[in-house]
Amino acid sequence: MTAPDPSGQLAEQLLRLTRRLHRAQKRYLDPVGITPAQSRLLRTVSHYEEPPRMADLAQRLEVVPRAVTTLVDALEANGAVRRVPDPSNRRVIRIEITDQGRSTLRALREARRTAVEDILAPLSTEQRVVLGSLLDELMAGPERGC
């Protein structure tokens, strides 16, 4: 009989929880009319003080520029972002969030909050505090090969 592998079991639990979170989030994002990738791009655009360049977004999201173009096209089609020329270099295009995009972000935050609340519902307040502390500790740890 082999000894239990607590690290392997924990890894499997974390992966299952991640998949469950993604499914719950997708379920709440669908009514907003946005994909998780579009949501991530919209959140990223909103964090810049001035509209970012497409290359900035690709680098920040760690994707190829073509992927950003596809996401921007979709978000622009639903009015969440718009392409604007760079004031100092007309060849450069920047991505600006619109009022519709800000409204979409508010809906996304609410959808994410609801999805997470569904997942955390079985936990008491004290358990949530402990989980939050453990997650903070994990997030503060070094990234190895990720």
pTM to 2 decimal places: 0.75
pLDDT of amino acid 1: 56
Please compute, for residue 26, the number of CA atoms within 13 A of its CA located in the half-sphere on the CB side: 8
In a domain, 2, yes or no: no
Residue 63 structural domain:
22-138
Q: 47 lies in a domain? A: yes
What is the number of domains present in the chain? 1
pLDDT, one tens digit per residue, over 43-69 is 999 999 999 999 999 999 999 999 999
Strands (DSSP E) found in 5-139:
81-85, 93-97
Residue 113, domain CATH = 1.10.10.10
50 in helix, strand or coil? coil
Q: How confident is the prediction for the chain on average, in pLDDT?
A: 89
Residue 61 lies inside a defined structural domain of this protein = yes
